[in-house]
Amino acid sequence: MICELTATHYDRVEGLFKPLAFMPFCAGVLEGSHSGRVLVDDLKKPRTAFMLTRGCWGYLAGAPDSPGFLQALREALFAGDLLGKEVCGLFLSCPPADWDQQLAVLCAPRDPIEFPRRHYVARKGGYDWRASVPRGYVIRRMDRSLLYGAGREVPEDVRKMLEAIDQDADASERRCGFIATCEERVAAYAMIDCLVGDVGAIGLFTREDHRRRGLATVVSAATIEAGLKNGLSGVVWDCYEYNLGSIRLAEKLGLVHERNHTMYCLHLDEGRHLALTAWYDADRGNYDKTLQTCRRLLQRLTDVPELAYLAAARAWAAMGAPDRALDNLNLAADAGWSYAPDLESPEFGRLQGSREWQALLERVCRNGDSGTVP
């Protein structure tokens, strides 16, 4: 059986979700400061519960021995009744106890993909970001005047942030953000994108053609400093275990590594799910397994996602087969791949600088119509 709790009864599942309370979006739904849905096995005395927020972020808590609930939840996921037709996958977190077999039930016929993460918290500022602003850039706090600059394109995340400030004037000082502009164009931004009590979670983005200039460091440090000065007790930074750039930045800013946790990924499309599996195996250095998954995908499907070719290219490059790596990268470009930062994967180090590499870069940038070759 599966039922949906109304927000007025979320107190009935607070104890179930307590092990996940360190995750601001989960805590925010229970607090009522963030929208979401909570499904349970019993409306009056729930033992197992599932929370959905932000479209594709799920939290599973409570007693794992509830096969009827998990089966009903699985059917709702794959039917599109829960996520909606426009959402194709789920990032799922659950307490680290006895859930392995139950996750297999929920994700069948897919195998859930483990997505290890690091959880950092900033409790004090101190990074001198003002002395680190690159020449040609202006750093400013987000406010509604951003929406009215002539010719300025404001990212959708920033628009939503400003709307949230309008709706919660009392929290406007803590729900802050900073942007970096170059010739009036937004190049990078960081913001407190979830506020729960006196704790905020930070999100950041840098445009592809403005990366590797220290902008993420500057806007993140400015946002953390402002949030802590205006009443936050902590700013949460949560990142993928193999995102070395994010880890280095968190540690550069002096954030404290408080815990590791595991998120699970499920894509409802078989091809995309297998491609993601291959990619994350490459992250772990399991290159033989990466190639096995890619071969399995090629045998099953004719419409192969570009990510599968990229994963295979990483494996071949790491195993000393540069020609096969370049062949797969070009197949990815044939399939429409347009995200040049994927080429920063460490396995491609020996390929960089060749004529074939430069030609590949140009193809990828043309696919993205960015006009800029990194």
For residue range 340-350, list pLDDT tens digits in order. 778 888 899 88
Q: Are residues 252 and 277 in the same domain?
A: no
CATH code for position 96:
3.40.630
Q: Which of 259, 287, 306 is the last residue of a domain?
A: 259
Confidence check: pLDDT of 197 > 70: yes
Rounded to 5 degrees, φ, ψ at 132 are -115, 10
Q: Are residues 160 and 222 in the same domain?
A: yes
Confidence check: pLDDT of 97 > 80: no
Q: Are residues 142 and 234 in the same domain?
A: yes
CATH code for position 327:
1.25.40
Confidence check: pLDDT of 152 > 90: no
The confidence score (pLDDT) of residue 163 equals 72
Q: Are residues 200 and 170 in the same domain?
A: yes
Decide: helix, strand or coil at residue 154.
coil
Percentage, residues of the chain above pLDDT 90: 65
* Whether the Cβ atoms of residue 181 and residue 138 lie closer than 8 Å to each other: yes
pLDDT band at residue 33 using 50, 70 and 90 as cut-offs: confident
Domain that residue 103 falls in: 3-111
Mean of pLDDT values over 128-140: 94
Decide: helix, strand or coil at residue 142.
coil
pLDDT in tens, 55-72: 899 999 999 988 899 999
Instruction: For residue 71, tell me if it sits in a domain.
Output: yes
Instruction: For residue 253, tell me if it sits in a domain.
Output: yes
Q: Are residues 198 and 287 in the same domain?
A: no
Mean of pLDDT values over 187-216: 91
Residue-by-residue DSSP string for 66-105: -HHHHHHHHHHHHHTTTT-TT--EEEEE--SSS-HHHHHH
Which of 352-370 are b and which e, b meaning 16 or more Cβ less than 10 Å from the residue's Cβ? eeeeebeebbebbbebeeb
Instruction: For residue 274, tell me if it sits in a domain.
Output: yes
Mean of pLDDT values over 251-265: 95
Q: Which of 259, 281, 304 is the last residue of a domain?
A: 259
Mean of pLDDT values over 298-313: 91
Tokens 């799920």 correspond to: 58
**Of 27, 7, 28, which Cα lies nearest the Cα of 17?**
27
N- to C-terminal Cα separation, the chain: 53
* Residue 366 host element (H or E): helix 355-368
Domain count, the chain: 3
Q: Are residues 142 and 239 in the same domain?
A: yes
User: What is the C-alpha to C-alpha distance for residues 36 and 163, in angstroms, rounded to an integer?
Assistant: 18
CATH code for position 241:
3.40.630.30
User: What is the C-alpha to C-alpha distance for residues 89 and 266, in angstroms, rounded to an integer?
Assistant: 5
pLDDT band at residue 374 using 50, 70 and 90 as cut-offs: very low
What region does 125 belong to: left with phi over 0, alpha with psi -120 to 50, or beta? beta
- Burial class (CB within 10 angstroms; exposed 0-12, middle 13-18, buried 19+) of 30: buried
Q: Are residues 176 and 238 in the same domain?
A: yes
Confidence check: pLDDT of 130 > 90: yes
Q: Are residues 62 and 150 in the same domain?
A: no
Mean of pLDDT values over 336-360: 88
* Residue 193 host element (H or E): strand 185-196
Confidence check: pLDDT of 73 > 90: yes
Instruction: For residue 360, tell me if it sits in a domain.
Output: yes
Confidence check: pLDDT of 372 > 90: no
The confidence score (pLDDT) of residue 164 equals 66
Confidence check: pLDDT of 1 > 90: no
* Whether the Cβ atoms of residue 215 and residue 243 lie closer than 8 Å to each other: no
Mean pLDDT, all residues of the chain: 89
Confidence check: pLDDT of 37 > 80: yes
Instruction: For residue 265, tell me if it sits in a domain.
Output: no
pLDDT band at residue 171 using 50, 70 and 90 as cut-offs: low
Strand partners, 145: none
Instruction: For residue 343, tell me if it sits in a domain.
Output: yes
Task: Specify the amino acid at residue 56.
Answer: C
Confidence check: pLDDT of 183 > 90: no
Confidence check: pLDDT of 169 > 70: no
Q: Are residues 16 and 99 in the same domain?
A: yes
The confidence score (pLDDT) of residue 370 equals 44
Instruction: For residue 241, tell me if it sits in a domain.
Output: yes
Q: 39-43, 124-128, 197-201, 283-287: which range is least confident on average?
A: 124-128
Q: Are residues 299 and 352 in the same domain?
A: yes
Mean of pLDDT values over 239-249: 93
Q: Which of 58, 86, 111 is the last residue of a domain?
A: 111
pLDDT in tens, 10-22: 999 999 999 999 9
Q: Are residues 101 and 63 in the same domain?
A: yes
**Of 331, 232, 205, 215, which Cα lies nearest the Cα of 24?**
232
Instruction: For residue 373, tell me if it sits in a domain.
Output: no
User: What is the C-alpha to C-alpha distance for residues 307 and 303, in angstroms, rounded to an integer?
Assistant: 12
Q: Are residues 297 and 235 in the same domain?
A: no
